[in-house]
């Protein structure tokens, strides 16, 4: 192609922005699986699907089971809370001796609710849009959530063998929950979309997204020793994997890029935390030299125009945050214009 792919993440990230009908049924405070309603969720997905039809960017709409819920954290034992705008998980391992190591990932009500929503979504879609596994995060993210980020940082020095055991447990949960969701995804001769609404990727076979935002509190040494082998194990259990990272810790790119088990690398532009042209553009080019690259973030139209002129379109997908349909259309029109050859 003579231009990169373009996709937009519409409306925002918070629960009321993406799932207003679901949000209206929830009260701030603790949330249980029974509190997650099916019909309002399907109505919210229907509204999102119609909005993305109007956007008409390069990526067809795709949806998973209520991506705002920290599903794996809940399945592994974390209590879940709603603030009125977002859902989060509190740590559940305050005392190592009290943690239920034999807890089976698929044998609890949170896993049942996740699969219930996906089944309902597949039936409701009637083939109109792709159904995908939900956002499940990654091994380091789960360890940080279960133990708490401060405690995790200290445990890596004080009891590294427990962190290795916990990382193994999180990896197994990711595999089992991911495979259970993929078993519900209808077969397709046209390939498969993964991702929910905004951050999307196409594969010829079934796959899923992983991510590790917890690299922001880790060093390359600890990530390489405790988490990278488990990332490879999880990714190797699936036909295709896309991996999401934030641009404030670029050392993680160099650790993950060589893994053959990861097909696509997404690097997020964090406004105010990672320099766009000084750091992110060279990092995106670095990824492009090895794998398809997704450049994601909240960029202005001026910044998007510079990226369009600066980065090669080969193996590149630009996916941007667009709070309104008008902003999404403007981004699409800009990227689809004929461009001069990329600078080197």
- The secondary structure of 225-287 as a DSSP string is IIIHHHHHHHHHTSSEEEEEEETT-THHHHHHTT-TT--EEEEEE-TTTS-IIIIIHHHHHHH
Q: Evaluate whether residue 58 is within a structural domain.
A: yes
Total count of domains within the chain? 1
In a domain, 232, yes or no: yes
Residues present in the chain in total? 344
Averaged pLDDT for residues 294-304: 92
State the pTM of this model: 0.94
Query: Which one has a higher pLDDT value, 30 or 198?
Result: 30
Per-residue pLDDT band for 215 (boundaries 50, 70, 90) equals: very high
On whether residue 341 sits in a domain, the answer given is no
Say if 46 falls within a structural domain: yes
Q: Is residue 161 part of a domain?
A: yes
Task: Provide the domain limits for residue 135.
Answer: 5-336
Taking alpha carbons only, the member of 274, 209, 196 closest to residue 235 is 209
Alpha carbon distance 248, 318 (integer Å): 18
Note whether residue 344 is domain-resident.
Answer: no
Q: Looking at per-residue confidence, does 149 or 344 come out higher?
A: 149
Within 10 angstroms of residue 159's Cβ, the number of other Cβ atoms is 12
Handedness of CA 182, 184, 185, 187 (dihedral sign): positive
342 in a domain, yes or no? no
Is the pLDDT at 341 greater than 80? The verdict is no
Residue 343 lies in a domain: no
Average the pLDDT over 125-153 and give the result. 95
Question: Residue 315's domain is classified under what CATH number?
Answer: 3.20.20.210
Q: What is the pLDDT of residue 197?
A: 64
Tokens 């997404």 -> residue? 266
Which residue has tokens 């949330």?
31
Average pLDDT along the chain: 93
Q: Cα 111 from chain centroid?
A: 18
**Which whole number is the average pLDDT over 40-65?**
94
């Amino acid at each position: 192609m003579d231009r990169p792919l373009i996709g937009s993440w519409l409306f925002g990230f918070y629960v009321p922005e993406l799932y207003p009908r679901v949000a209206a049924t929830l009260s701030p405070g603790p949330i249980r699986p029974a509190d997650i309603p099916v019909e309002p969720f399907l109505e919210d997905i229907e509204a999102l699907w119609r909005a993305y039809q109007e956007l008409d960017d390069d990526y067809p709409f795709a949806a998973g089971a209520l991506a705002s819920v920290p599903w794996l954290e809940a399945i592994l034992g974390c209590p879940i809370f709603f603030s009125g705008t977002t859902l989060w998980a509190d740590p559940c391992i305050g005392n190592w001796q009290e943690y239920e190591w034999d807890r089976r990932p698929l044998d609890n009500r949170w896993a049942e609710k996740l699969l219930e929503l996906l089944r309902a979504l597949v039936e409701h879609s009637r083939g109109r849009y792709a159904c995908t596994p939900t956002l499940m995060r990654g091994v380091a993210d789960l360890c940080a959530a279960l133990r708490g980020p401060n405690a995790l940082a200290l445990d890596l020095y004080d009891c590294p063998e427990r962190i290795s055991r916990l990382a193994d447990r999180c990896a197994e949960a990711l595999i089992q929950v991911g495979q259970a969701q993929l078993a519900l995804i209808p077969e397709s001769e046209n390939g498969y979309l993964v991702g929910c609404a905004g951050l999307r990727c196409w594969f010829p076979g079934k796959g899923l997204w992983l991510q590790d935002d917890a690299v922001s509190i880790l060093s390359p040494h600890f990530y390489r020793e405790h988490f990278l082998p488990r990332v490879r194990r999880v990714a190797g259990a699936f036909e295709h994997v896309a991996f999401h990272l934030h641009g404030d810790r670029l050392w993680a790119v160099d650790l993950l890029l060589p893994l053959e088990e990861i097909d696509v690398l997404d690097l997020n532009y964090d406004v105010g935390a990672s320099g766009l042209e000084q750091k992110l553009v060279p990092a995106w080019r670095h990824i492009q030299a090895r794998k398809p690259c997704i450049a994601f973030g909240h960029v202005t139209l001026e910044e998007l125009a510079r990226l369009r002129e600066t980065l090669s379109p080969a193996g590149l997908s630009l996916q941007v945050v667009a709070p309104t349909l008008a902003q999404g259309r403007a981004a699409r029109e800009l990227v689809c214009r004929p461009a001069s050859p990329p600078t080197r």
